[in-house]
Structure 1
Amino acid sequence: MGSFDPVARRRGGEAKFARPLAQLLVFGYHQAMSCIFPVAIFGTLALSSLVQAPFVHRYDLILLALLAVQYLMYRSGLETLDEIKVICVFHVIGLLLEIYKVGMGSWSYPEPGYTKLLGVPLYSGFMYASVASYMCQVWRRLRMDMTGWPGLVPALALGGAIYLNFFTHHFIPDVRWWLTALVVLVFWKTRIVYRVRSRTYRMPLTVAFFLVGFFIWLAENIATFFNAWKYPDQHEAWRLVSFGKISSWFLLVIISVIIVAQLKHAKANRTP
């Protein structure tokens, strides 16, 4: 009969606890590094709301600051040229949506600025681009891949329908819940594969959509608190952004993932 060694048993228990803790810390580190640009945006919004810069409008200052952050991230190697290109695409997509939504009265940018286009400051596109920045960064850092991807045509058709609904629901019935149900059906078998050190993990893609959308909703509350923009019910006093906005961010995240995933897949196929 083997002898009982309490020291060895304690060390074994400590090692068993230390391994998942180490995995969690590494995962958290990569998530934090992937959020550098979004954090820079909210930091700039917060600082510019507390400190009034002389001779420059706040919206213009935010744009200059975010352009500088992007330049520094690229020069330091935190972002690649391909990632910068994706960010520019999302900046344009987001800016077009912002111009339309502001024109329809969904929200407003009440402060003055020279870098405003049809009532929308140019920095606003970076808030959409920050989602793309996060996606590109976390994809590279966690060596992500996907299984069960529905294919180019279904993914792009669904992404296009979601983006179009952001415009058309002002004139025809909002079909976001039908689109959400369609997302679940189309991506039912899709799993995100990600790696932390030597271990591989999998997560249903729809769960990832919801989690990212929820955290963006939290970030949106921070942004409106610091007057990045205002919803109609926030002009008198700040209040919590409607929980219904989570569904909007959920669908927007889907567009981001579809574009990033297709670009990553296309690049992988071109790589010898």
Structure 2
Amino acid sequence: MTDGTREFTRLERGIDRLAHRILRGAPRRGARAVLVECAVFLLKQAWACVFGALLLAVIVAARLWYPEDAVLARNDALTIAAIVIQIGMLAFRLESGRELWVIVLFHITGTAMELFKTDVGSWSYDGEGVLRIGAVPLFSGFMYAAVGSYMVRVYRLHDLRFARYPKVWLTAIVAALIYLNFFGHHFVFDFRWILLAAVVVLWLPTVMHFRVWRTTLRVPILPVFVGVALFIWFAENIGTWAGAWFYPNQTDGWHLVSPQKIVAWFLLMIISIVLVTFVYPPKPPEAGERGAG
């Protein structure tokens, strides 16, 4: 865990103290030291993904075991489960009240896009349930909130720092244009490739510093964006297989989601990053920090 515990929730501070006791005697060099760093990295990533992992597990469980003749529609059951997960995240101090605001913002912006995209036929949900707005079941907003939860949690778990981060006001303009293009490309020219080029120009010089255990790694930020977008695309394939929603080419049976969606998720990542900077403004690396990469 990181020494920057002031951003941790109460439960996470307890886990951090326990981790320090367990890892106090861990070797500082050699293969075992590398294995410790890898294990801590994977555990932190799993902890950051807990909201999305629980929600995805519920979606898969509903596909496999939810009875077709249940009085409560499956979509409504998913919505109730998502609400319970969110309440549990707060009750067990897995999220702070500060983070809840950005997660709510993810929820609102995601639901607004869902309403539009389902109306134009980009994707759809089955017609069951009463906990919905139009054709959009309310659990859909929690899928965007899961992305927001991961972003804010990974920021503090890894004590993220950024060298040569672009001006926040410039990133906000690009993020707003990306969001508008998700709507506007149905009526006018699709600017996604121009926006993608703008993202590359803005963030290409940026290097992300993230603490694992004893080591702080330095990596260019754009490949990190790509990696997270790819991970979300994998989760999207699980979600569509489980019938949470489906694309037009999946109405007659499940097919792999088009890899072109990775570009859409990459651009959505930019919106996510900018929203998170409203809660956690980008900080430069600390002078003299030990690093690798």
In the superposition, the TM-score normalised over structure 1's length comes to: 0.90
1:21 aligns with 2:35: yes
Residue aligned with 1:146, SS: strand
Give 1:32's match in structure 2, choosing from 22, 29, 46.
46
Structure with the larger helix share: 1
1:177-188 maps to which residues of 2 (within 5 A)?
Answer: 177-188=193-204
Counterpart in the other structure of 1:9: none
Residue 266 of structure 1, CA deviation:
8.5
Counterpart in the other structure of 2:96: 80
Residue aligned with 2:128, SS: coil
Measured in 1, the distance between the counterparts of 2:63 and 2:148 equals 25
Counterpart in the other structure of 1:152: 168
8 Å CA contact 2:178, 2:267 repeated in 1: yes
Residue 23 of structure 1, CA deviation:
0.3
Measured in 1, the distance between the counterparts of 2:168 and 2:66 equals 48
1:44 aligns with 2:54: no
Measured in 1, the distance between the counterparts of 2:169 and 2:177 equals 12
Please say which of residues 212-221 and 46-55 is displaced more in the overlay: 46-55
Measured in 2, the distance between the counterparts of 1:156 and 1:19 equals 40
Residue aligned with 1:193, SS: strand
1:121-200 maps to which residues of 2 (within 5 A)?
Answer: 121-200=137-216
8 Å CA contact 2:52, 2:146 repeated in 1: yes
8 Å CA contact 2:59, 2:239 repeated in 1: yes
Counterpart in the other structure of 2:15: none
Counterpart in the other structure of 1:238: 254
Letter of the aligned partner of 1:191 in structure 2? Answer: V
Measured in 2, the distance between the counterparts of 1:15 and 1:136 equals 31
Measured in 2, the distance between the counterparts of 1:199 and 1:183 equals 29
Measured in 2, the distance between the counterparts of 1:150 and 1:266 equals 9
Measured in 2, the distance between the counterparts of 1:262 and 1:148 equals 18
Measured in 1, the distance between the counterparts of 2:283 and 2:30 equals 39
Residue aligned with 1:125, SS: helix
1:44-123 maps to which residues of 2 (within 5 A)?
Answer: 44-52=58-66, 54-123=70-139
Letter of the aligned partner of 1:153 in structure 2? Answer: W
Measured in 1, the distance between the counterparts of 2:198 and 2:147 equals 22
Measured in 2, the distance between the counterparts of 1:90 and 1:214 equals 19
Residue 15 of structure 1, CA deviation:
5.2
Measured in 1, the distance between the counterparts of 2:145 and 2:283 equals 20
Residue aligned with 2:280, SS: helix
Identity of aligned residues (%): 38
Letter of the aligned partner of 1:214 in structure 2? Answer: L
Gap change, CA 1:14 and 1:94, over 3 Å in 2: closer
Residue 78 of structure 1, CA deviation:
1.1
Measured in 2, the distance between the counterparts of 1:203 and 1:27 equals 14
Segments of 4+ moved more than 4 angstroms: none
Counterpart in the other structure of 1:3: none
1:194-209 maps to which residues of 2 (within 5 A)?
Answer: 194-209=210-225
Residue aligned with 2:230, SS: helix
Quick one: higher RCO (CA 8 Å, sep 6+), 1 or 2?
2
Aligned residues, how many? 256
Residue aligned with 2:217, SS: strand
8 Å CA contact 2:162, 2:282 repeated in 1: no
8 Å CA contact 1:162, 1:255 repeated in 2: yes
Q: Could you give the per-residue CA deviations for residues 50-83 of structure 1, whole angstroms, max 9, x where no partner exists?
A: 2235321111111111111111111111111111
Counterpart in the other structure of 1:221: 237
Residue aligned with 1:192, SS: strand
Measured in 2, the distance between the counterparts of 1:52 and 1:162 equals 37
8 Å CA contact 1:145, 1:194 repeated in 2: yes
Measured in 2, the distance between the counterparts of 1:33 and 1:137 equals 8
Measured in 1, the distance between the counterparts of 2:28 and 2:164 equals 38
RMSD: 1.8
